[in-house]
Structure 1
Amino acid sequence: MNRGKLNGVAGTTGALCAVVLLGNVMAPDAHAQNSVTLYGVVDAGVTYTSNAGGSNQYALTSGNMGANRWGLRGSEDLGGGLSTIFTLESGFTIANGKFGQNGTFFGRQAFVGLSGSWGAVTLGRQYASSSQFVGPLASGSSWAAPGMGYGTHPADLDNLNSTNRINNSIKFASANYNGLTFGGLYSLGGVAGDFSRNQIYSLAIGYTQGPVKLALGYLNVRNPNYSFWGNKANDSTTASNITSPVIAGYASANTQQVIAAGTSYAIGSATLGAVYSNVRFSGLGATPVAGLSSTAAAYRGSATFNNGELNAKYQVSPALLVGAAFDYMKGNGAGQGGVIYRQFNLGADYFLSKATDFYAVAVFQNASGVDSRGVRAVAAITGATPSTSSSQTVVTAGIRHLF
């Protein structure tokens, strides 16, 4: 990705100047920083959905392959191998210019911390460790339209595509020890008199050696409807923030737990991969949520999803990458009649340069059984309006530019 140094960008906009001037006023020693980098992604395309709430849909969509964003990243050398680091990253919708992450200004990332030869410790709004380690091994987080999430596992319920970031978090990421890396995150709930409410923690470990990659992650979220799915600027503080029919019936859960593992193996220009995740919503009925259907409000106990993905990608040439994947997910528990989701991802990505590419991705999903709402399951590709039938297809093509 091509990046430009902030102090070398010609024609900087007034808004960016205001950010820099404000930083100079509030931090007089800002000149001591070694580097500040402005970076981002601009992505737009045309998307066809076979059944969006009952009708075919053609739409200009934003951030299909790479979610649109701009950000500032910086570091200061403190000496002795220690550095201060920070990242401020804001998402936006290119079709209308609105903020992403439901109106949250720095909704993608916002953190500051210290790094050294041992790794880094950061504080702020950040990605779960499990997502960063296991996510890149899934097709929906790499080449199958990860920006909009079309190729992710249904509802991205295992968060391998980092649909949900984590507020109020303290995070550690280790250095690389001969291919071994590990990390952890803890988010304080901040609720007076109830230490466990809204708390989140995540652990992960990864290993890379030659053509082999391995990763294992764990995520535990208390009161997920508010702490995880509802932690953005305009989210509801009383009603459900979980909209996908795949898991909408479980908004009252006390805990969402994710165990995920993935591997890949490179053979020449081809890479084969597999990902497994187990997601459990437990303590149903423990978190008050307004507006739930009488069926969902009566749920007690737990619901579990087991998800398995096989994927492959092939570097046809230095400029062209193609990929294919199949995902199978089965759910059991409260309200569900053994619901099954089957999904196929196909994609191609052609790079005109290191910074600009054309892409095309097709996703097909089929659902059967009874879903989290206690009704006949419908296809619900992540990022698209749910279907009214058991099947749905999304096809998107567009252009992405990195800066």
Structure 2
Amino acid sequence: MKWFAPLALMIPSACALAQSSIEIYGITDAGINYLSNAQSGRIGTRLNGNARWAFYDGSVGGQQGSRLGIRGFEDLGGGYRALVRLENGFSLQNGAAGQGGAIFGREAWTGIEAPYGQITLGRQYSAIVQFYAPILAAQQWAGYMSAHPGDLDDASKTWRINNSLKYTSPVISGWQFGGVIGREGNSGDPGSDAVWSVGAAFHEHGFRFGAGFLSAAKPNTSFFGSNVNSAAASANNMGSLGSLSPESNPVFGSYASAQSLRILALAASYTLSRATVALAYSRTDFAKLGSNAGPNPFRYTGTASFDDIELSALYQLTSRFDIGTNVNYLRGGSVDGKANAAYTTATLGAMYFLSKSTDIYSLVVGEKAAGTDSFDQPSVAAITGMTPSSTSFQLAVRIGMKHTF
């Protein structure tokens, strides 16, 4: 075995020469949720509901969904690096994989980083997630419960773009921009199920700005149907009306027949000392309803448009204790003469950091609904990630703990 010693010495030298790195990382988020009213189904036209207490993973109203990931790079020389990221979402409740059971359902991509930017290919987030979403309260501290109703503007990482090519520029004088294009690949007509997104951001001297735009053809399958267990266009990947079971996504669940989806999103924030205030706006259009992109039980036609505005504030009381508040107003969805729906959502949050890696937190979210929702019924409150209410009001409370590694 004398040959083994010099061979062993060569291994770290080779690794050093390649300058490669592989890192395993993750988040666990667990907590107890209280929901003042959760649908249990319906009798005739009347929705039933009752209060509920339960243990949930962070993906159900927590600050962040639990995940386990692998990221790595290899230095290729001359300012070039090979990159890879594989990220799995899972539930602490039972260990099940998230995102429809995909082993790497959150992200799965590889690519090249160069002096002129980064190019990656795989299952990736839109430019709205990359440039607009980081300014919102949901992504910073308030969690999925405070996300815009139904996450209709793609700001809370509910959906991904499959088979995608993405470019991200380097930061230039505080500015960064990028875009991504992909398609689900279920159609023989190129572009018939294409999804593309572009965006830009600026961050300097306490001021932050982010903007994104997304366009999806036949969004029921190309965007909302991007998980491995999603159904074909004959079924609805955006929501369900429910009868014996609770409804799913009454905000826009019946707009699956839209020929196209368009989202424009803008946000800005300013940080001064310990305080940060932010303002965000988005416009979401489900256009050309009545196409063959998905089921249309109410025979809608035309375009259902939503406008969303958010105002939030975060204050650092001490080096370990933060408090935040957020108010969001969503209005729209009028189509074929039915009244607009309106959702007003308010959030209060408190976070105490036990260490750089672990914090305990509490979130209180209340939502009031009005008008007529996509299921052509009096709008019910539907706090994002929660079972919708059977009434126009819903209150959710969570106490949780998050650990990053």
- Quick check: TM above 0.5? yes
Alignment TM-score, normalising by the size of structure 2: 0.88
1:50-199 to 2 correspondences below 5 Å: 50-53=36-39, 54-63=49-58, 64-145=62-143, 149-191=144-186, 193-199=188-194
Aligned residues of 1:33 and 1:74 also touching (Cα < 8 A): no
Residues 189 and 99 from structure 1, CA distance in 2 versus in 1: closer, same or farther, beyond 3 angstroms?
closer
Q: Which amino acid aligns with 1:188?
A: R
- Which sections of structure 2, spanning at least 5 residues, go unmatched? 1-14, 40-48, 240-248
Q: Name the CA distance, whole Å, in 2 between partners of 1:130 and 1:61.
A: 27
Shift of 1:118: 1.8
Post-superposition CA distance 1:339-379 (Å, at most 9, x none):
11100011111110011110111110000001111111000
Q: Which amino acid aligns with 1:202?
A: S
Partner of 1:41: 27
Aligned residues of 2:199 and 2:210 also touching (Cα < 8 A): yes
Q: Which has the larger radius of gyration?
A: 2
Q: Name the CA distance, whole Å, in 2 between partners of 1:280 and 1:274.
A: 21
Provide the secondary structure at the position in 1 that maps to 2:133.
Answer: helix
1:274-353 to 2 correspondences below 5 Å: 274-290=279-295, 292-293=296-297, 295=298, 298-334=299-335, 336-353=338-355
Provide the secondary structure at the position in 2 that maps to 1:249.
Answer: coil
Q: Name the CA distance, whole Å, in 1 between partners of 2:378 and 2:303.
A: 19
Provide the secondary structure at the position in 2 that maps to 1:248.
Answer: coil
Partner of 1:8: none
Partner of 1:368: 370
Post-superposition CA distance 1:141-160 (Å, at most 9, x none):
22112xxx211000000011
Aligned residues of 1:189 and 1:195 also touching (Cα < 8 A): no
Aligned residues of 1:35 and 1:76 also touching (Cα < 8 A): yes
Q: Report how many aligned residue pairs link the two structures.
A: 369
Post-superposition CA distance 1:76-133 (Å, at most 9, x none):
0001110000000000000101001121110000000000222200000001012111
- Which sections of structure 1, spanning at least 5 residues, go unmatched? 1-28
Match of 1:239 among 219, 231, 235: 235
RMSD between aligned residues? 1.7
Provide the secondary structure at the position in 2 that maps to 1:133.
Answer: helix
Alignment TM-score, normalising by the size of structure 1: 0.89
1:221-236 to 2 correspondences below 5 Å: 221-236=216-231
Q: Which amino acid aligns with 1:38?
A: I
Shift of 1:332: 3.9
Q: Name the CA distance, whole Å, in 1 between partners of 2:390 and 2:267.
A: 32
Shift of 1:389: 0.2
Provide the secondary structure at the position in 1 that maps to 2:386.
Answer: coil
Provide the secondary structure at the position in 1 that maps to 2:263.
Answer: strand
Deviates more, 1:232-241 or 1:298-307: 232-241
Identical-pair percentage? 39
Aligned residues of 1:191 and 1:197 also touching (Cα < 8 A): no
Match of 2:389 among 387, 390, 399: 387
Post-superposition CA distance 1:31-70 (Å, at most 9, x none):
9461000000011000000001111000101011121000
Q: Name the CA distance, whole Å, in 2 between partners of 1:33 and 1:61.
A: 41
Provide the secondary structure at the position in 1 that maps to 2:254.
Answer: helix
Partner of 2:10: none
Provide the secondary structure at the position in 2 that maps to 1:132.
Answer: helix
Partner of 2:43: none
